Amino acid sequence: MRLIIISGLSGSGKSVALHTLEDQGWYCIDNLPIGLLSAFARHVNDTCPAGGGRYAVGIDARNRPEDLDRIPAILDELLALGLNSEVLFLFASRETLITRFSETRRRHPLSDGDAALADAIAREEALLAPLRARADLTLDTSNTNVHQLRDLVRERIEHDPGRLSLLFQSFGYKHGIPPDADYVFDARCLPNPHWEPRLRPLTGLDAPVQHYLEAQPEVAELSGQIEALIATWLPAFRKAARSYVTVAIGCTGGQHRSVYLAEQLAGRFATGMDAISVRHRELNR
């Protein structure tokens, strides 16, 4: 039996994540009262088919604050019972959430008419902090559209329980460090194809940029060191029963060096990993 608890900030894509899993054949329930979570987990564990069932439950700030405070204790209870549960937490920057609510003209579930939207978002962040702290996987959807989020949920969630999903993500430092990364590596010390006029409009996915970087000894050295570190510590993640690891690699703009390194490292780990994916944050903008 596999049970995923989907939570996060309003406007961050929780409904999209639930609908994506439902389309993949998961049994999904939205806005389950927290007090019923243990009973539901026991029920599906006792009645799921012999081959195992897949269930997703949406829990968010529409629950009572006192119930949200009980989340850590309930998750510990499920763990003690040997029930396989995971927490997926989605979030986005306050600026992004304000823009999304303004565009859709929907009411924030915690707004009472007088409170500003930013205040409602801040209150929701505080209420969900205990659940976010227990998340197995967090996804920042600030720069992700609906279609990209669906793909990301499928890539990260659609694997067998007990297997490790590894994501290599490129990004640009000028747009901020991904807050959902487990490891962050800085590639700004490497020669920059941006300063080559013929390479500037290209990306790390293009052969001329790849050939340029392959000719730089520093690039191979940094790539090998990152590979060695990740390979050394992946067994520890497996031993700790971690299901997800995100490795973020950044350069100035997220177009050339970080893209190239993410692709190279994903290729090197492809044969030894249960599930592996690559995401280029700035190329998806």
254 Cβ neighbours under 8 A, 6+ residues apart: 170, 171, 172, 173, 175, 280, 281, 282, 283
pLDDT digits 0-9 by tens, 24-35: 999 999 988 998
Which strand (E) or helix (H) includes residue 166? strand 165-172
DSSP 108: P
Asked if the model's pLDDT at residue 212 lies above 70, the reply is yes
Residue with tokens 């949920």: 153
Q: Parallel, antiparallel, or unpaired: how do β-strands 2-8 and 27-29 relate?
A: unpaired
Identify whether the C-beta of residue 235 lies closer than 8 Å to the C-beta of residue 272.
no
Asked if the model's pLDDT at residue 140 lies above 70, the reply is yes
Q: What is the model's pLDDT at position 279?
A: 92
Q: Which of 20-24, 34-38, 128-132, 222-226 has the highest average model confidence (pLDDT)?
A: 222-226
Q: What are phi and psi of 140, to 5 degrees?
A: -90, 115
